[in-house]
């Protein structure tokens, strides 16, 4: 067996095409959704992610503003910028790129964002709504994973889903989204005793832990659907996922490649959340 390769680029392009139509309708009413990002420090990977988000926002015809602050920015200055963006009528979505430098606690920072402008779904109110089964603005990467599963027609109801990772950006919200879709969810993490055994039970396996090749192809249940959220740099500088791809392709029914799987969906979902936030603010 050789797995279907889930084409994230193509599926993301379809999402963006749908948004483009919706934006046309909004523009006729004089509304141009606006996205602001805040990057603190000069981590090159984060800078690339943010640059790609803005490139896509502009291509789509959104208003977009990029704020880059020095690594030593005190928390007061960051909170002040967030207050300004909360009050700026041109801005519908605010994203603070994570991780922040070590001296900045992310929780008070994301909590300062107006929850209706929280296009990254990191505000505790939005996290709580998701946990309560009433998703409003959902973190972009897990939303993208769900969209990929739906796009390839995976039957989620009653399926065993294994999520590896428990970060606030991906693992936790992804488990919540799968639970809301009636999966039986197992959340694994760095202390899980027998990861191979847990993975072996999954009809859907989503890996979001950032360790290249951690999930061995031989662990997978034959016919599993695999979503690989990992993006690490290999020794040759190329992007690699958390799943041992060559072996996994031989056992899985479908799998996302890295790159070209989940990555493009994260950006597409950020655009979708920005348009959604623009609508939420105009019709509360």
Among 141, 187, 256, 274, which residue interacts with ligand GUN (rule: CB under 6 A)? Answer: 141
Closest to ligand GUN by CB, 49 vs 245, is: 49
- Is omega for the bond preceding 4 within 30 degrees of 0, making it cis? no
Using rule CB under 6 A, residue 273 touches ligand GUN: no
Query: What are 124's two structure tokens?
Result: 């505790």
Among 140, 159, 271, 275, which residue interacts with ligand GUN (rule: CB under 6 A)? Answer: 140
Q: How many residues bind ligand GUN (CB under 6 A)?
A: 10
Catalytic-residue membership of 120: yes
Closest to ligand GUN by CB, 113 vs 199, is: 113
Closest to ligand GUN by CB, 71 vs 155, is: 71
**Pick from 267, 266, 279: nearest CA to 92:** 279
What x-and-dash track marks residues 154-193 binding ligand GUN by CB under 6 A?
A: ---------------x------------------------
Q: Which of 114, 120, 203, 228 is catalytic?
A: 120
Using rule CB under 6 A, residue 266 touches ligand GUN: yes
Catalytic-residue membership of 105: no
Give min distance, CB of 202 to ligand GUN, in A: 24
Window 16-55: residues binding ligand GUN (CB under 6 A): 49
User: Which three-class secondary structure string do you get for the chain?
Assistant: CCCEECCHHHHHHHHHHHHHHHHHHHHHCCCCCEEEEEEECCCHHHHHHHHHHHHHHHHHCCEEEEEEECCCCCHHHHHHHHHHHHHCCCCCEEEECCCCCCCCCHHHHHHHCCHHHCCCCCCHHHHHHHHCCCCCCCCHHHHHHHHHHHHCCCCCCCCEEEEECCCCCCHHHHHHHHHHCCCEEEEECCCCCCHHHHHHCCCEEEECCCCCCCECHHHCCCCCEEEECCCEECCCCCEECCECHHHHHHHCCEECCCCCCHHHHHHHHHHHHHHHHHHHHHCC
Among 114, 118, 120, 203, which residue interacts with ligand GUN (rule: CB under 6 A)? Answer: 120
Distance CA 57, CA 16 (A): 10
Q: Which of 97, 122, 176, 187 is catalytic?
A: 97
Using rule CB under 6 A, residue 113 touches ligand GUN: no
Contact 26, 33 (CB under 8 A): yes
Give min distance, CB of 1 to ligand GUN, in A: 32
Using rule CB under 6 A, residue 95 touches ligand GUN: yes
Catalytic-residue membership of 97: yes
Q: Which window, 77-85, 94-102, 186-194, 201-209, contacts ligand GUN (CB under 6 A)?
A: 94-102
Give min distance, CB of 3 to ligand GUN, in A: 25
Provide the annotated active-site residues.
53, 97, 120
Residues found near ligand GUN in the complex (CB under 6 A): 49, 95-98, 120, 140-141, 169, 266
């Amino acid at each position: 067996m050789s797995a279907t390769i889930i084409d994230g680029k193509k599926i993301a392009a379809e999402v963006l095409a749908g948004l483009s139509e919706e934006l046309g309708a909004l523009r006729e009413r004089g509304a141009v959704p606006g996205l602001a990002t805040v990057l603190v420090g000069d981590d090159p990977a984060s800078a690339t992610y943010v640059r790609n988000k803005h490139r896509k926002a502009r291509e789509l015809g959104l208003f977009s503003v990029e704020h880059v602050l020095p690594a030593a920015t005190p928390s007061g200055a960051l909170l002040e910028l967030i207050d300004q963006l909360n009050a700026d009528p041109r801005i519908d979505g605010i994203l603070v790129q994570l991780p922040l430098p070590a001296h900045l606690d992310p929780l008070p920072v994301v909590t300062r964002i107006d929850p209706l402008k929280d296009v990254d779904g990191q505000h505790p109110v939005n996290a709580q709504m998701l946990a309560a089964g009433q998703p409003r603005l959902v973190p972009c990467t897990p939303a993208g994973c769900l969209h990929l599963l739906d796009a390839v027609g995976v039957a989620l109801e009653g399926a065993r889903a294994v999520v590896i990772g428990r970060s606030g950006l991906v693992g936790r919200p992804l488990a919540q989204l799968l639970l809301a879709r009636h999966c039986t969810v197992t959340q694994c993490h760095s202390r899980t005793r027998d990861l191979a055994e847990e993975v072996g039970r999954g009809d859907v396996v989503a890996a979001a832990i950032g360790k290249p090749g951690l999930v061995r192809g031989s662990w997978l249940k034959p016919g599993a659907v695999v979503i690989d959220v990992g993006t690490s740099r290999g020794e040759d500088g190329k992007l690699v996922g958390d799943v041992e791809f060559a072996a996994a392709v031989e056992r899985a029914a479908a799998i996302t490649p890295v790159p070209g799987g989940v990555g493009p969906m994260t950006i597409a979902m950020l655009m979708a959340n920005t348009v959604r936030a623009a609508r939420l603010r105009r019709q509360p």
